[in-house]
Amino acid sequence: MRSQQVVKVEGAEQGYVYQNNFGKQGGGFLVTRLRRENGTVTTVALIILAICSIIGAISSKITQADLNLSNAYIQQKQAFYAAEAGLNYAAAKMGSLTDRPDDPNWSVTLHGNLPTGESFTVVLKHKVAGGKVVKWADINNDFVFKECTSCPGSPVERIISTGFSRGGSQQSVATELFPEPLFADIPAALYAGGDSMISNSGSALAEGEFGYIADKAVCLEVPDVVTTPSALDGFQAADFSGATGLRTSLLNDQKPYPIAKVFENLKGRAVTIAPETRLALGSSEDCGLYYCTGNLDAQHLSGYGILMIDGNARLGGSVDWHGLILAKGDTQFDGSGSMEIFGGFLSGGRVLIDSSPAFYYDCRELNSIKKKFSRYGRRLWTCDVPLNW
């Protein structure tokens, strides 16, 4: 038996493998060199690292783009809400802003700052068509309002509001505002819509031009008394026997005043009152809207504003009212006290007079009420503002 020979070969630890092939034909040492793997692993690691770096850079770019878009969106929204705030601010101030209702070149500019740092600029002007201011008016005295240019009424307003964000973005919005009327134009100092208007043992004074004469206010004159076609012969306006000073008595062909529509328009905004025998409502500094849900039998009535009586009215004793009184049903005046109404009195039914009331059409009182309680409706809202606005 051959003994195994152990041979020490230099360089055995230098990456070589030595295999003893003695005893085989052509025996000897078979030397195999191992391939070095260190460089390959490093290269793969570097490639992976490069890919990760590229992915990270792309992700960072995408994140930054998202942040920029998000910031731009926030800035645009801030500007938009600032512009909307400008619209609301202008609408709330409309009653004191509008001026020169027949001037097509009239405009006013407002500026405002929000507590959060945004701001707005608002331009307000009349709507114009064919060189004339567009009005919102009751053309046919039926409490149906339409646009017109050659008619009395309140202008339709156009508003452009531009909002500015804290970062400098801006957004414009525009709308048209039209006045929502409190009531149709008063046809006379005294109006009776029922089948008769009677003056029995009393006498009455009615003046349809009182406001114009008193202080030269710019008021349209109206008839002293108006009845409708339903008034009985002998009890129409032309037959009304009033005190000296009754200027004119018209119109037996007058269209009915839309008392029911005025009630529907106002009663939801009015303060409901109980039908008490003594009523003192509001003041010269604080006129109001008042709604009596049933019949009213009062021996004393004084106040400022609009009083709506959803039934019959019997007024005795003393009356001192500044503004407008509307009664859906019949109305009776009796008693010996002083009775004066400055503004207008309208009854949906007959009017029976057994005392000496005085009815003065006074536009100052009516305009004061309109100024305090007028509202504007919004329409044609757009954030794509036309160039010709």
**Greater confidence, 272 or 182?**
272
d(CA 246, CA 352): 17
Q: From start to end of 103-196, where are the E strands?
A: 107-113, 119-126, 128-129, 132-133, 135-138, 145-148, 154-155, 157-164, 170-180, 190-192
* DSSP β-ladder status, 16-20 and 29-33: antiparallel
What pLDDT score was predicted for residue 18? Answer: 46
Give the lowest-confidence range in 50-59, 87-96, 244-253, 337-346. Answer: 244-253
Q: Where residue 69 falls among pLDDT bands split at 50, 70, 90?
A: low
240 vs 148, which has greater pLDDT? 148
- Using the predicted structure, report yes or no on whether residue 201 has a pLDDT greater than 70: no
Query: Does pLDDT of 294 surpass 70?
Result: yes
- How does the average pLDDT of the chain come out, rounded? 80
Which residue do the tokens 């020490």 mark?
Answer: 8
pLDDT at 26 over 80: no
pLDDT in tens, 364-381: 899 889 888 888 888 888
Beta carbons of 170 and 127 less than 8 angstroms apart: no
Question: Partners of 123 in the beta sheet?
Answer: 109, 160
- Give the C-alpha separation, 346 to 289, whole Å: 16
pLDDT > 90: percent of the chain: 34
Which tens digits make up the pLDDT trace of 303-358? 999 999 999 999 998 999 999 999 999 999 987 789 999 999 999 998 888 888 88
Give the mean pLDDT of 135-164. Answer: 86
Helix, strand or coil, per DSSP, at residue 139? coil
Residue 238 CB contacts under 8 Å (≥ 6 apart), including other chains = 249, 250, 252
Residue bearing the bigger pLDDT, 84 or 214: 84
pTM of the model: 0.68
Q: How many residues does the chain have?
A: 389
Q: Residue 217: CB partners within 8 Å, gap ≥ 6?
A: 211, 363, 364
End-to-end alpha carbon distance in the chain: 118
- At a CB cut-off of 8 Å and minimum separation 6, what does 151 contact? 135, 137, 139
Name which residue leads in pLDDT, 22 or 45. Answer: 45
Measured at the CA of 218, the angle between CA 255 and CA 262, to 5 degrees, comes to 35
